[in-house]
Amino acid sequence: MSSQNFKDWESVTHIDPLILQHLKKKYNPPAVPQKDQIVKQRKLGVLYAAFLGVIAMIMVVLLGAIRCTDVDTILINSSRALLVYCTIGFVAGKIAEMCVRESAKSMIRNMLQRTDQLQNAAANEVADENGRND
């Protein structure tokens, strides 16, 4: 890790310089994601609705064709299946989206707590080293 990266890190964080110096010796700074690494967020509800609706519609059309059903009946039944399964997919997607969001929040919360613990430990080590030098 070059000293330039630590200078950049120092400019965006609000850590005591003594603690930062201690951290430079022990730990690497976190990597900052590049623009091309940031993924566009898509709504899971819409994705699930589209996927399930289209699959249901295709299945009803195929079953109707296999059974030699009238085209009007196939279209009515496939439209109903599309609407029902789009609704089910949308609800399932919203639930999945909430689960993913809560999981991400808890992971971030845990990482922040861990960072605070590391900063406190580093501050205590620096204080102990300064106390020994005095």
pLDDT (tens, 9 = 90+) of the chain, 134 residues, equals: 445 554 555 555 566 666 666 666 666 555 555 555 555 566 888 888 999 999 999 999 999 999 999 999 999 999 999 999 999 999 999 998 889 888 888 888 888 888 888 888 878 877 777 777 65
Q: What is the dihedral of CA 59, 62, 68, 74, to 10 degrees?
A: 50
pLDDT value at residue 91: 93
Q: Which helix (H) or strand (E) holds 123?
A: helix 71-133
Distance (Å, rounded) from C-alpha 124 to C-alpha 131? 10
CA dist 27 and 8 (Å) reads 15
Query: pTM of the entire structure?
Result: 0.55
Residue showing tokens 């200078």: 7
Contacts of 17 (CB under 8 A, 6+ apart): 10
pLDDT for position 27: 60
Q: Give the integer Cα–Cα distance in Å for 32 and 93.
A: 30
Task: For residues 132 and 97, give the distance between their C-alpha atoms in angstroms, rounded to a whole number.
Answer: 52
CA distances from 59 to 32, 54, 82, 89, 103 (A): 46, 9, 10, 16, 34
* Short-list 94, 79, 83, CA closest to 48: 94
Cβ-Cβ contacts under 8 Å for 24 (sequence gap 6 or more): 6
